[in-house]
Chains A and B, each alone.
Chain A
Amino acid sequence: MIVEDVLCPFCGCLCDDIKVEVEDGRIVGVKRACRLGSSKFMGHERISGPMVRRDGELTETTYDEAYDRAAQILKAAKRPLLYGWCSTVCETAKKGILLAEEVGGVIDSTATVCHGPSIIGIEEKGLAGSTLGQVKNRADLIVFWGANPAEAHPRHTMRYSSNSTGMFTPEGRGGRKVVVVDVRRTRTAKNADKFILIRPGTDYEVISALRMIVKGKGDLIPDTVAGIPKSDLEEVAGMMLAAKFGAVLIGLGLTHSRGRYKNVDNALSLVADLNGFTKFVVLAMRGHYNVAGFGQVCAWETGYPMAVDLARGAPYFNPGETAACDLLARKEADAMMVVAADPASNFPRATVEAMAEIPVIQVDPFPNPTTFLADVVIPTAVCGIEAEGTAYRMDGLSLRMKKVVDSGLPTDEEVVENILDRVRRLADDN
C-alpha cells in the first residue's frame, strides 16, 4: 500500500508530498523525501520499553510505574525544567504547558539553542514575513544568510526558494538571483550568483554596512568592512534594490554567533529598510519540523514563545535567565523532563554536567545520550509516522501530520497527559 501526501517529520520544511510504502504494517519504502526525511521514515533503533533507574542501572518497568516515578520527581522538585517539545506535535506541547503550570516549573523548547535569538530579534524589531508560497511564487532574489539548506533543509531550495518554479517565477533558478553570506563556502554557496565570505562574528558589521549603502550613506563606509571589499557590498546592495521581491532567509549563522539576537535584529532592520524601496521579506530557517509549532502554542497559552517560567503564578519570560541552558548553568533546575529532544548531545558540556546531577525524565522514541543520564525513560510513538497531530512549518503554516503505521506505543501527548494526571492526584493527596 502506498500512502500519499504524507508530511515529513524531520525539518522545518515540513514537506507534504511524501509517498510512503507500507507492507504488513511496516514502512518498506519512501519516495520524494530527502536523505534526512528518508532516514526518519525508514526508522532507527528504538527504546525497547519503559525504564527506571534502580541501583544506578536502567531497568525495564511498566508504563504505569514510569508515569508514577515521573510524577513523583516533578512533584518533589522545587525548580523543575520541562524541555524539548519540537520533534513532537502541538497537542503534546499544549499538555506540556499544563504540566509545567501544575508543577510550577519552567517550560522551554529547543528553540533556545537554535532560532531563539531570531524570536527575540523579531520581538525587538518586528517581522516583514511571508509564507514560503509567496517566496516560491514571487521572489526574484533569495539571500541565504548564515543558512545552509543544502545540508540542513535539503528540499527547501527546490520546493520553496532559489530553485523552485512558481506562478510568477516560471524560469525557476534561471529567473532568480541568489546571494549567500557565510563564514565558509558551503554547498549552498556553490549555488550562489554572489557569495560573500565573512569572518565568524562579523555579521552585525556587514549588515550595518549594507544598511548604510541601501540608505544612501555608502560614502561613509571604509574600503573594507570585516575584510570584505566595499565594492562587493555595493554589488549586493544593488542586487537587493533591483529586486522586485527579495527574500532574506536567515540561519543559525546569525543566532549562534557573536551578536546573536542583535544580528537578527539588524537583519530584520535591513529588510525593513529595503521595504522603503522594494518588496522584501525575511524568514528564519527553522530546524525541527515543529519548533515553530511549540512557539505558537506556547505564545497563545502563556503569552511567550519559549523559556517561560510558570513558578510565579503568572508567566514570566526572560531568556538569559529562564532558558534551559541558563537554568542548568546556574544549577538552579533540580529536576528535568525532556520530551522529544536530546539536550545531553546538544547543550554545552558544562551544562550537561549539571543535568547529570539532577533527576531526568526522558520521553522519546529513540535512545540517545539523554537516555544515559535519565532516571525515567518512556518510549513513545513517532509523531507524523506512528501518531497524528498538528505541526507548524517554518513559515507558520499549520498542517496536519498523518499516522502512517501503528506502533502500539503511547503518543507523546498521552504520556504527558498520564504524568499530568498523576501529578494532579499527588496534589489532591496533599
Chain B
Amino acid sequence: MVIILKAIMISGRTLGQGASLEAKTSPEFFKATSICALSESDYDDLGISGEANVLVRTEFGEVVVSARKDDGLPPGVIFIPMGPWANAVVGMDTGGCGTPLFKGTEAEVEGTKMRVKDIQELFADLLRRGGDRS
C-alpha cells in the first residue's frame, strides 16, 4: 500500500541554492534544489529510507524530488528550495497583489521509484512550443 502524507509545502532560499543560483545548469544547482525536506517523523512515516525520492503532488502539478530529513521542520510542513522543482507544484494565482503563493500550498507526498528530472528534462516539453520562432 502506498502511504500518502498530507502536508503544507513551502519554498525558500538555502545557502546551496543561493550559491548555485546563477549556475542553474550545474550539478550543484540540481543537487541543492531538486530536493524535498521533511520532518523526521514525516520521513519515517512515508516508509522510505536512504536516498529515496518522493512524488509531491498539489492541485497545480506534481514533481519528483529527492527526500531529506530536516530536524527544523515540524510534522506536516515540507520544504522545497526555491527553484523550478518547487515551482512545478505552485499555483499561479497572485491573490490580487502580483505574488504567487510560494509558501502554503496543500500537497500530498509519497515515496516513489521514479527518477528526479534534471533541469533540461524539466523544461523539455515547453521548448519551441509557440510564438514567433522563425
| B99:A369 contact, CB within 8 angstroms | no
Q: How far is the CA of A201 from the CA of B93 in the complex (A)?
A: 16
B116 cross-chain contacts in A, Cβ below 8 A: none
B2 cross-chain contacts in A, Cβ below 8 A: none
* B-contacting 9-mer, from A182-190, A205-213, A228-236, A387-395: A182-190
A162 cross-chain contacts in B, Cβ below 8 A: none
A44 at interface by CB-CB < 8 Å: yes
A116 at interface by CB-CB < 8 Å: yes
| A319:B97 contact, CB within 8 angstroms | yes
Q: How far is the CA of A423 from the CA of B133 in the complex (A)?
A: 20
Across the interface, A348 reaches (CB within 8 A) one of B70, B87, B104, B120, namely B87
Chain B residues proximal to chain A, CB less than 8 Å: 8, 10-15, 18-26, 60-61, 70-74, 77, 79, 82-84, 87-104, 119-120, 122-123, 126-134
Across the interface, B92 reaches (CB within 8 A) one of A322, A329, A344, A365, namely A329
| B123:A369 contact, CB within 8 angstroms | yes
| B100:A369 contact, CB within 8 angstroms | no
Q: How far is the CA of A240 from the CA of B12 in the complex (A)?
A: 27
| A258:B104 contact, CB within 8 angstroms | yes
| A349:B88 contact, CB within 8 angstroms | yes
* B-contacting 9-mer, from A33-41, A125-133, A215-223: A33-41
A347 at interface by CB-CB < 8 Å: yes
A86 at interface by CB-CB < 8 Å: no
Give the residue name and chain of the A residue nearest to B88 (CB). A349
Q: Would A325 and B87 be within 8 Å (CB), given that A184-B73, A319-B98 are in contact?
A: no
A197 at interface by CB-CB < 8 Å: yes
Q: Which of under 10, 10 to 19, 20 to 34, or 35 or more describes the interface residues of A? A: 35 or more
| B94:A323 contact, CB within 8 angstroms | yes
Q: Would A360 and B133 be within 8 Å (CB), given that A256-B99, A256-B101, A348-B60 are in contact?
A: no
Give the residue name and chain of the A residue nearest to B100 (CB). A348
Most B CB contacts (10 A, CB to CB) among A108, A116, A184, A189 go to A184
Q: How far is the CA of A324 from the CA of B94 in the complex (A)?
A: 10
A40 cross-chain contacts in B, Cβ below 8 A: 22
Q: How far is the CA of A367 from the CA of B126 in the complex (A)?
A: 17
| A359:B102 contact, CB within 8 angstroms | no
A350 cross-chain contacts in B, Cβ below 8 A: 60-61, 91-92
* B18 CB → nearest A CB, Å: 4
* B131 CB → nearest A CB, Å: 5
Rank and list the top 4 A-B pairs by shortest CB-CB distance, nearest first: A323-B98, A319-B98, A320-B96, A185-B72
| A186:B92 contact, CB within 8 angstroms | no
* B87 CB → nearest A CB, Å: 5
Q: How far is the CA of A324 from the CA of B100 in the complex (A)?
A: 11
| B13:A197 contact, CB within 8 angstroms | no
* A251 CB → nearest B CB, Å: 9
| A356:B22 contact, CB within 8 angstroms | no
Across the interface, B84 reaches (CB within 8 A) one of A307, A335, A344, namely A344
| A347:B100 contact, CB within 8 angstroms | yes
